[in-house]
Chain A
Amino acid sequence: MSAAEVRPAAPELRRFITPEGVDLRLRIGTGGERAAAFVLDVVFLVTALIVFSICAAFAIGGLNAAVGGQSKESLGSAMLIVWLLGAFALRNGYFVMFELTPRAATPGKRIMGLRVAARDGGRLTAESVFARNALREIEFFLPLSFILASGVGAVDPIGGWLVLLGLLWTGGFALFPLFNRDRLRIGDFVAGTWVVKSPRERLGIDLLDAQGAAASAGYAFTPDQAGAYGIKELHVLEDVLRRKDKKTLGAVADRIRAKIGWRPREGETDAAFLAAYYGALRARLETQLLFGRRRKDKFDLG
C-alpha cells in the first residue's frame, strides 16, 4: 500500500503566508494547465472576433438596405472604424478586463481552475495585470509573426535564415515558463504575479460521523492493533474509504487484517471493518497529537 499511488506528493506547493501569519500552501498552476487555459482563451478570443466581424458585416448590409444610396459609404466606413477599434480593444482588453474582476481569471483560466495572484501576498494591482498582459506582445504575438513570416522568408535564403533566427530568439520568450520552478511567464516575471490553482473543495462528511458510531459498535482493537500505522497510512485509508471502490476496499482490508492479526467475525464486511479501524487509528493518532507526538508513518516508532 504505497501512499504515492493514491495521494501523489506535491512539488507544486508553495509557501504563501497571509498577513495573519498562516501558511495557505498555494498550488502553482502546472505548465499543462496554463497552456490549456491559454488555448481556450485564444479560441474564445478568435470566436468573439469572428462573431463581432460577422455582426459588423450584417449591420452594414442591413443598414445599407434601410437607407440606401447617398449615406451608404459613410455607414460602411463607420462600421470599419467600429471594427478596427473593437479588434484592438478585444486583443488588448480581453485578458486585462477579466483579470481585473474579483475572480482574477480569464474564462480559460476559470475553466482550468486557475487565478492570478501577486507573488508577495499583497493585492493584485491593476498595474500588475496590465504589465503581465502587455508582455504577451513578445511572448505570443512576436513569435507568431515570425511563424507567419516564414512563408515569405522561404523565397530568399537570407530572409529565411533571419526568420529562423528570430523564431529561435522569440521562442525563448514563449517557452520561458518551462525554465523556472514557479512556471512564471515573462509577463508574470515583470509584473510580480504568478498563476495558482484556485481550489473549490467541497466539505465532505466526517467519516467518523457517517459510519463510525453504528459500525464500530462491536469492534474492539487492542492498543497494539490500533497503533500499527501512522498518519500517512491513515490518510491513504481515508482516501480508500471515501472512494468506496469494492476491490480496493477488499485488498486493503486483507492487508490490515493480516498486519494486525485480526480474525474476521461472522458476517463482517470489508467496509465496516475498515471504517471501524479508521476510527480507532485516528482516535489513537489524534490523542498522540495532543501530547505533541506526530507519528509520520508506520516506520516512525519514535
Chain B
Amino acid sequence: MKDLQLKSQRFRAEREWDWRRLDGLLSRVEGRSAASLSDEELLAIPVLYRSALSSLSVARATSLDHSLIDYLESLSTRAYFFVYGTRAGLRQRLARFFVETWPNAVRGLWRETLASLAITVAAALVGYILVINDPSWYGGLIPGALAEGRDPTATTAFLRKILYDSGGKNELAILAAYLFSHNAQIAIFAFALGFAFCLPTAFLLAENGLTLGALFALYASRGLGFQLGGWIFIHGVTELFAIILGGAAGFRIGWRVAFPGDRSRVDAAAEAGRSAAPVIAGVVLMLVVAGLLEGFARQLITSDLIRYAIAISTLIIWTGYFYLPRRRLGAAR
C-alpha cells in the first residue's frame, strides 16, 4: 500500500480538517450573520484564516493539485472578506456618522461650499435684477408648470393668498413627502453630475438661484418681498443649505477628476468620492427636515416674524453643528 506517498498528499491530510472547519464557519456567517456564531467560533476565524493563507502559500510552492489550490484561494478570499469586512454595529456606525463623519466631511468641503454658495447667490441676484427691470424675463426663468399661476399677470391679492394659505391637513403631509423625495433626488443628482467636470452641477445650482431671484423680484415689485422671505426661508435655509452642500460634493469630485494633482486620476477620484459621500448621505437627512418644515410648519405658521425666527434658528443650528470647533472624538477615546 503506497498510502499518502507524496508530500503534498500528507500536507493536505494534515490540514484538511482546519480548512473544512473554516469553510463551515464561513458558510454560517454568509448564510445568516456573525451573531449566529459563538464567541469562541468568532475568535477562531482569524486564526483559521491565517493558517489557510499559509496553507495557500505552501500549496502554491509544493503542490501540483490544481483543484486544491483553487479551493484554498477561494477559501482564503472568503475568509479575507469576513476578517477585513465591515462589522461595526449599526448603532455604533450611526453615532459615529453624526458625531464625527458628517460634520468633518462638510468642513472638509468648505472651499467647494463657498463656491456653490457664490454661484447660487450670484444667480439669484442676476435673476432678481433681470426680472425687476423687465418682468417679461420671468416667464423665461420660471417654467409655467412651476409657477402655478405666480406670474407677472397675477393679482397682488392672489400672490398674497399663496403665502398664507394653509391647505387641508392631508395635503400637507403628501406635500411634505413629495417635496422631500423630489429634492433629495435632485441633491443626489447634483452630486453624481459633479463627475462630468463640475459644469452640470454649476448649471443646476445657477438654475436654482435664478428661480429664487426671479420669484423674489416678482413679489418685491408688489411690495411683498419681506413676506416672501419668511415664506421661503422657513424651510429654505435648510433646503438651500442642503442643495449647496450637494453641489459642493459634486464639485469636489469633478475638480479632483479634472485636476488630480500629483496623484493618479483613479486614486484622486476614489479619495474625493469617499470624502464627499457622507455629505450627500447627510444632505438627504437635511432634506427630510426641510420637507417637514415646508410641508407643515410653513403652512401652519402664518406669522412672518415667527417664520423668520424659525429660519434664523435653523441657520444657527446647521452652521453651529457643522462649523463650530469641537473636541475630536479620537482624542477622548
Which A residues from 186 to 233 make CB contacts under 8 A with B?
A: 186, 189-192, 198-204, 206-209, 212-213, 216, 231
Task: Please classify the interface of chain B as helix (H, G, I), strand (E, B), loop, or mixed, using the class held by over half of its residues.
Answer: helix
Query: B271: which A residues are within 8 A, CB to CB?
Result: 192
CB distance A130 to B280 under 8 Å?
Answer: yes
CB distance B195 to A191 under 8 Å?
Answer: no
Q: Could you say which of B2, B84, B274 contacts A191, with CB atoms under 8 Å apart?
A: B274
- A126-B90 Cα distance, complex, nearest whole Å: 11
CB distance A138 to B192 under 8 Å?
Answer: yes
- A20-B274 Cα distance, complex, nearest whole Å: 25
CB distance B20 to A131 under 8 Å?
Answer: no
Query: A66: which B residues are within 8 A, CB to CB?
Result: none
Q: Tell me if A84 is interfacial: C-beta within 8 Å of chain B.
A: yes
Query: B101: which A residues are within 8 A, CB to CB?
Result: 127
CB distance A206 to B84 under 8 Å?
Answer: no
- A189-B3 Cα distance, complex, nearest whole Å: 53
Query: A132: which B residues are within 8 A, CB to CB?
Result: 273
- A212-B75 Cα distance, complex, nearest whole Å: 26
Asked, given contacts A80-B174, A191-B277, whether A234 binds B64 with beta carbons under 8 Å apart, the answer is yes
Which A residues from 46 to 94 make CB contacts under 8 A with B?
A: 73-74, 76-78, 80-81, 84-85, 87-88, 92
CB distance B67 to A242 under 8 Å?
Answer: yes
Query: B50: which A residues are within 8 A, CB to CB?
Result: 20
- A100-B2 Cα distance, complex, nearest whole Å: 51
Task: Please classify the interface of chain A as helix (H, G, I), strand (E, B), loop, or mixed, using the class held by over half of its residues.
Answer: helix
Q: Tell me if B321 is interfacial: C-beta within 8 Å of chain A.
A: no
CB distance A290 to B62 under 8 Å?
Answer: yes
Asked, given contacts A130-B281, A206-B68, whether A85 binds B30 with beta carbons under 8 Å apart, the answer is no
Asked, given contacts A238-B67, A286-B63, whether A134 binds B277 with beta carbons under 8 Å apart, the answer is yes
Query: B221: which A residues are within 8 A, CB to CB?
Result: none
Asked, given contacts A22-B76, A213-B1, whether A117 binds B81 with beta carbons under 8 Å apart, the answer is yes
Interface size on B, residues (CB 8 A): 83
Asked, given contacts A78-B173, A138-B195, A203-B68, whether A127 binds B9 with beta carbons under 8 Å apart, the answer is no
Mark contacts of A153-174 with chain B using CB atoms, 8 A cut-off: 1 yes-contact digit, 0 otherwise: 0000000000000000100010
Asked, given contacts A199-B74, A203-B71, whether A286 binds B281 with beta carbons under 8 Å apart, the answer is no
Q: Tell me if A135 is interfacial: C-beta within 8 Å of chain B.
A: yes
Query: B115: which A residues are within 8 A, CB to CB?
Result: none
> Apart from A212-B5, A282-B8, what 16 extra A-B contacts exist at CB < 8 Å?
A18-B80, A18-B84, A119-B270, A122-B84, A127-B278, A137-B189, A189-B273, A190-B273, A192-B269, A192-B271, A199-B73, A201-B74, A203-B23, A203-B68, A206-B12, A286-B64
Q: Which residues of B contact A (CB under 8 A)?
A: 1-3, 5-9, 12, 16, 19-20, 23, 29-30, 33-34, 50, 53, 56-57, 61-68, 70-71, 73-78, 80-82, 84-87, 93, 97, 101, 169-171, 173-174, 176-178, 180-181, 184-185, 188-189, 191-193, 195-196, 253, 257, 266-267, 269-278, 280-281, 284
Q: Which residues of A contact B (CB under 8 A)?
A: 18-20, 22, 24-26, 73-74, 76-78, 80-81, 84-85, 87-88, 92, 100, 102-104, 115, 117, 119, 121-128, 130-132, 134-139, 141-142, 169, 173, 186, 189-192, 198-204, 206-209, 212-213, 216, 231, 234-235, 238-239, 242, 279, 282-283, 285-286, 289-290
